[in-house]
Amino acid sequence: MSETIYDLIVIGGGPGGYVAAIRAAQLGMRVACVDKRGALGGTCLNVGCIPSKALLQSSHHYEGAAHEFKAHGVNTGKVELDLKAMMGRKDKVVSELTKGIEFLFKKNKVDYVIGRGSITAAGEVRVKPAKGKAETLKTKNIIIATGSTVTPLPGVVIDEKKIVSSTGALSLTKVPKNLVVVGAGVIGLELGSVWRRLGAHVTVVEFLGTILPGMDADICKQMQRILAKQGLEFRLSSKVAGAKKTKDGVILSVEPAAGGDAETINADVVLVAIGRRPYTDGLGLEGLSVGMERGFITVDDDFQTNVPGVFAIGDVVGGAMLAHKAEEEGIACAEIMAGQAGHVNYAAIPGVVYTRPEVAVLGKTEEQLKKAGVDYIAGKFPFTANSRARCNGEADGLVKILADAGTDRLLGVHIIGPAAGDLIQEAVTVMEFGGSAEDVARTCHAHPGLGEAVKEAAMAVAGRAIHI
Ligand SMILES: Cc1cc2nc3c(=O)[nH]c(=O)nc-3n(C[C@H](O)[C@H](O)[C@H](O)COP(=O)(O)OP(=O)(O)OC[C@H]3O[C@@H](n4cnc5c(N)ncnc54)[C@H](O)[C@@H]3O)c2cc1C
């Protein structure tokens, strides 16, 4: 048994866990981070945010070179896809970034322990490496940051070859002729876009009557139109009832969500992207009687579970399953543990879909405001009227700002457009400061800039947009 008594052991080295570990070490704690994967960064760095964005960027270049450069007067000749090189680049980006976290651990004196962690008692973590003997580590506090995994679809068994999860879809060795994506959420649309750009015919099957369920209805409708124009085929209000693997691919049985006759769709590859569920396998939570609800670990405002000294953060506690939300919780949890006033403002967490154009959302949707009986004013500005978007040849989309009718305070900001994921950050800052649409409208924005569309939408709240 190790003699070291840690102040904190974090189980899980994803964006929640590794950030919590570093922040706790900065605050003077003796910290270890246990992860079983063998590479730090969790889902996000290894099989999530980072590899998907690397492929989105590469496939964007491919599509640009093949179909868009000509309009800019750039002739390339025949454009060829080297999928192996594209995947190799993606793997290199991932491996450099995961090694970067190992470096940060060394710099901050966080012990990195590779193996599966389980909690044998409050203050005791048993770590079983892939090979070799298990060891028991002693600690004052534990943070569980074990993240999430793919939600399975009954009757459609993932083999990561013909029927893949997002993980398999990030490493296909050839472009499928027909890809069926089950689920029109963020992951399904991002990865569907990657493979469509590379030449696949992509059909997206969604149980609900809208893509991007939960987002502002206006945004969902416009985005569906834009993606359909790019070639994505949508089967909404449809459910996948079963899948049969054949020598060449998969035959999917799809029926109306409301009931009715099933039809079949042939696919070379099926991507199951119906969501993610919390991952707590083998942690030993039952033995400790840690409170859980629908598989998520229950925590209070200080990320404390019902077991003293055991905390939890990130995807495993639910809420927005996003890397930046997990990071914020990691920092807040470490600071609270150190006696500081750590805090996460869940009302100001942006969400981004990295399609092209991107979608970025913040705060309330119109539907939520109507349901809550809040009196609001909507200001909209299209990118067709933004000079920079026109120069770039990327004028699809709009900025929509929802402000309180009485106080003008920002309630929701929804953007479809070029660099929407970066443009939303201005709105996040203003919302954090309790700012108003007028605050954005009276702030000088550089010209010609995409950010001017945000300013104009804010001006539109007061009925005084200039360029429309
Ligand atoms: C394809 C895809 C794309 C995504 N894109 C984005 C995006 O663009 N932006 C965004 O914000 N979010 C994105 N996400 C979501 C994001 O990856 C997660 O929200 C984020 O990784 C959650 O962080 P976490 O620290 O809670 O858990 P995770 O990142 O899941 O990390 C948990 C870690 O714990 C380890 N672990 C689990 N159990 C044990 C155990 N018993 N012992 C030791 N180690 C254990 C796991 O191996 C894993 O490394 C994406 C997800 C996917 C799948």
For the segment 324-378, what is each residue's pLDDT rounded down to a tens digit?
Answer: 999 999 999 999 999 999 999 999 999 999 999 999 999 999 999 999 999 999 9
d(CA 344, CA 16): 13
Q: Does the beta carbon of 11 lie inside 6 Å of ligand 1?
A: yes
Q: Does the beta carbon of 116 lie inside 6 Å of ligand 1?
A: yes
Q: What is the mean pLDDT of residues 269-283?
A: 98
Give the residue, out of 11, 40, 43, 272, with the most ligand 1 atoms within 8 A of its beta carbon, to mutate for a pocket test: 43
Cα 315 to middle of ligand 1, angstroms: 7
Ligand 1 atom at shortest distance from the alpha carbon of 42 = 49
Nearest CA to ligand 1 atom 49: 42
Evaluate if residue 226 carries a pLDDT over 90.
Answer: yes
Ligand 1 atom at shortest distance from the alpha carbon of 34 = 43
Cα 43 to middle of ligand 1, angstroms: 3
Burial degree of 134 (CB within 10 A; 0-12, 13-18, 19+):
exposed
Give pLDDT, residue 2: 46
Over residues 93-121, the pLDDT tens digits come to: 999 999 999 999 999 999 999 999 999 99
Over residues 388-423, the pLDDT tens digits come to: 999 999 999 999 999 999 999 999 999 999 999 999
d(CA 457, CA 426): 13
Residue in 367, 347, 365 with CA at minimum distance from that of residue 431: 347
Rounded alpha-carbon distances, angstroms, from residue 422 to 2, 171, 418: 46, 27, 9
Q: Does the beta carbon of 14 lie inside 6 Å of ligand 1?
A: yes
Q: Does the beta carbon of 117 lie inside 6 Å of ligand 1?
A: yes
Over residues 170-199, the pLDDT tens digits come to: 999 999 999 999 999 999 999 999 999 999
Ligand 1 atom at shortest distance from the alpha carbon of 170 = 1
Rounded alpha-carbon distances, angstroms, from residue 3 to 6, 138, 294, 343: 10, 8, 37, 34
Evaluate if residue 380 carries a pLDDT over 60.
Answer: yes
Give pLDDT, residue 4: 78
Q: Give the catalytic positions in this structure.
A: 447
Cα 147 to middle of ligand 1, angstroms: 5
Is 208 in a helix, a strand, or coil? coil
Nearest CA to ligand 1 atom 53: 48
Q: What is the pTM of this model?
A: 0.97
Q: What is the mean pLDDT of residues 33-51?
A: 98
Cα 369 to middle of ligand 1, angstroms: 31
Cα 281 to middle of ligand 1, angstroms: 14
Is 289 in a helix, a strand, or coil? coil
Q: Does the beta carbon of 196 lie inside 6 Å of ligand 1?
A: no
Burial degree of 65 (CB within 10 A; 0-12, 13-18, 19+):
middle
Integer-rounded Cα radius of gyration of the chain: 24
Evaluate if residue 244 carries a pLDDT over 70.
Answer: yes
Cα 31 to middle of ligand 1, angstroms: 20
Ligand 1 atom at shortest distance from the alpha carbon of 17 = 25
Cα 326 to middle of ligand 1, angstroms: 9
Q: Does the beta carbon of 168 lie inside 6 Å of ligand 1?
A: no
Over residues 422-448, the pLDDT tens digits come to: 999 999 999 999 999 999 999 999 999
Average pLDDT, the chain: 97
Q: Does the beta carbon of 42 lie inside 6 Å of ligand 1?
A: yes
Q: Does the beta carbon of 321 lie inside 6 Å of ligand 1?
A: yes
Ligand 1 atom at shortest distance from the alpha carbon of 283 = 41
Please report which residue ranges of 131-254 form alpha helices under DSSP H: 166-169, 186-197, 217-230
